[in-house]
Amino acid sequence: MNTQEVPGRAEFLSLLDAQFSIPVSDIQGIIREFHSEMQKGLAGNPGSLKMLPSFSARPKGTEKGSFLALDLGGTNLRVLAVELDGKGGSNVVAVSRFTIGKKAMQGTGNQLFDFIADSILEFFKDNAIDQNRKYDLSFTFSFPVEQTDIASGRLIEWTKDFTAKGVVGEDVVCLLNNALKRKRISCVNVAALVNDTVGTLASKCYSNPSCDLGVILGTGTNACYLEKLSNITKMKRKNANGEMIVNMEWGNFNKFVRTAYDADLDKASPNPGVQHMEKMVSGMYLGEITRMIICDLIRRGMLFSMIDHAFIFSKTGSFETQHMSIIASDGSSDLKNVEILLSEMGVESIKPDDKKNLKRICKLVSDRSATIVAAAISAVLTWMDPELKCRHIVGVDGSLFEKYPGYADEVNNVLFSLFEKKSSPIFLEPAKDGSGKGAAIIAAVATSTEISASLIDL
Ligand code: GLC
């Protein structure tokens, strides 16, 4: 490229706009690709959607009892005690949170599972839990797992920031039980192994039976939905009546066009080559994509006057999705909060254009994420109900959906542009604490004799 061809700032920003926008007219094609990947996954053929049977059915809302729940998959580990009233109501009666250190996340499997067992012991101590009783525990393990029944399954691969060695290919419930034995915890029975999406769907269904899709938009992204057993052709079973919740692992969908930033982010990640959609959508990555664009603009002399500002943003993780959230929430005419944030980061001589352009970049990245999510939701809903004749409640959990300013509205806007009047029976609703309450509901389904008997036929 000779110097005359180097784009100016305005032109470069327009190029970025074009690279990051997904026209509504392209979404129908994406939906078709989604359907084809879903089909492959359900048949057990290679593809980007794993479509993992959860061995859980839709809860009825009458499940009752007290359960422990263990939630592993984000930045914290949580241990909870949950009570279900059998009338669609649930209550977290005790909860302890533990920061997962690097050693547990990226060391050996034993380190990770010992940390989990130690945390359970601490939870017992902090909440004066009587260890002479027996407790059914639901293990929310938010990673791709090939389940063999409701309470066992092998980890297919780690996602997000987890890399603990010696866990891939192993039954994670066995690893947990071994750690419980090592720590002499004998009062816990692991009754269910649950993906966070499944917990989310269950927690919404518990009070609202028209929920048929559960979505996580947090550190990672994923969804599960209710599938007819007869469509899960890869499962060998005697009785193909009824439905089962399927964990799609949609974060691995790989048919969206990626930018050079996405490709670079993927290369530098702990799991290159996989989770393409997750890396374009979820909270763990949006800040990083934006940081890469910021660095590119600084290098080109198009953002911040001082080129040595590059070092402020040079480190991976130095600009986070939380920063984007602050920028997106600044609606003031002089973008005062953007200025405060940048000054705190060490940026000097900030010009009004810098603030505006930074806000524009954040919006590009977050809007693309919301558009992808809307496309994916549309794909699953039209798979279940091609003409969108029924009412669909989509239970959504995760900080991106809950806290990022304007994110949920953007997903709804895209759904509306796609389906126009037809989008009216689609409701995106926050589903709080699927990994705690929802997981307890799944444990209740699993321990109820009625359901266990029907699962034997599968
Ligand atoms: C990752 C995991 C998936 C989980 C999602 C949200 O995509 O692979 O199992 O549901 O993160 O936590």
Query: Can you say whether the dihedral through the CA atoms of 385, 389, 390, 394 is positive or negative?
Result: positive
Q: Is the pLDDT of residue 32 over 70?
A: yes
Does ligand 1 have an atom closer than 6 angstroms to the CB of 73? Answer: yes
pLDDT of residue 4: 54
State which ligand 1 atom lies nearest to the alpha carbon of 250: 7
Q: How far apart are CA 115 and CA 252, in angstroms?
A: 28
User: Across the chain, what does the average pLDDT equal?
Assistant: 93
Mean pLDDT of 17-43: 97
Does ligand 1 have an atom closer than 6 angstroms to the CB of 147? Answer: no
Backbone angles phi, psi at 295, to 5 degrees: -60, -40
- Give catalytic status of residue 255 as yes or no: no
Residue bearing the CA closest to ligand 1, atom 1:
220
Does ligand 1 have an atom closer than 6 angstroms to the CB of 216? Answer: yes
Does ligand 1 have an atom closer than 6 angstroms to the CB of 196? Answer: yes
| Residue 2 pLDDT level (bands cut at 50, 70, 90) | very low
Query: How far apart are the CA of 356 and the centre of ligand 1, in A?
Result: 33
Q: Is the pLDDT of residue 455 over 50?
A: no
Query: How far apart are the CA of 142 and the centre of ligand 1, in A?
Result: 5
Q: Is the pLDDT of residue 451 over 50?
A: no
Does ligand 1 have an atom closer than 6 angstroms to the CB of 248? Answer: no
Query: How far apart are the CA of 396 and the centre of ligand 1, in A?
Result: 13
Complete edge-to-edge strand list for the sheet that includes strand 76-85: 90-99, 76-85, 64-72, 135-141, 188-194
State which ligand 1 atom lies nearest to the alpha carbon of 252: 7
For 13, 20, 228, 365, the CA distances from 360, given in Å and listed in that order, are 9, 12, 43, 9
Does ligand 1 have an atom closer than 6 angstroms to the CB of 251? Answer: yes
pLDDT in tens, 256-295: 999 999 999 999 999 999 999 999 999 999 999 999 999 9
pLDDT in tens, 183-235: 999 999 999 999 999 999 999 999 888 899 999 999 999 999 999 999 999 99
| Residue 448 pLDDT level (bands cut at 50, 70, 90) | confident
Mean pLDDT of 249-256: 97
If one counts every other C-beta atom within 10 angstroms of the C-beta of residue 133, the result is 8
pLDDT in tens, 295-313: 999 999 999 976 677 789 9
Does ligand 1 have an atom closer than 6 angstroms to the CB of 220? Answer: yes
pLDDT of residue 74: 85
**Pair of tokens at residue 141:** 């393990």
Catalytic position from the list 71, 136, 171, 196 = 196
The amino acid that residue 331 corresponds to is G
| Residue 5 pLDDT level (bands cut at 50, 70, 90) | low
Catalytic position from the list 50, 160, 355, 437 = 160
pTM of the model: 0.94
pLDDT of residue 254: 97
Query: How far apart are the CA of 295 and the centre of ligand 1, in A?
Result: 29
Mean pLDDT of 31-50: 98
If one counts every other C-beta atom within 10 angstroms of the C-beta of residue 258, the result is 16
Query: How far apart are the CA of 218 and the centre of ligand 1, in A?
Result: 9
State which ligand 1 atom lies nearest to the alpha carbon of 73: 12
Residue bearing the CA closest to ligand 1, atom 12:
220
Q: How far apart are CA 160 and CA 145, in angstroms?
A: 14
pLDDT of residue 256: 96
pLDDT of residue 449: 52
Q: Is the pLDDT of residue 457 over 50?
A: no
Does ligand 1 have an atom closer than 6 angstroms to the CB of 160? Answer: yes
Residue bearing the CA closest to ligand 1, atom 2:
143
Q: Is the pLDDT of residue 31 over 60?
A: yes
- Give catalytic status of residue 296 as yes or no: no
| Residue 458 pLDDT level (bands cut at 50, 70, 90) | very low
Q: Is the pLDDT of residue 393 over 60?
A: yes
Residue bearing the CA closest to ligand 1, atom 3:
143
Query: How far apart are the CA of 7 and the centre of ligand 1, in A?
Result: 39
pLDDT in tens, 114-169: 999 999 999 999 999 999 999 999 999 999 999 999 999 999 999 998 999 999 99
Query: How far apart are the CA of 143 and the centre of ligand 1, in A?
Result: 5
Q: Which of 377, 394, 303 is nearest to 10 (CA)?
A: 303
pLDDT of residue 3: 47
Mean pLDDT of 324-350: 95
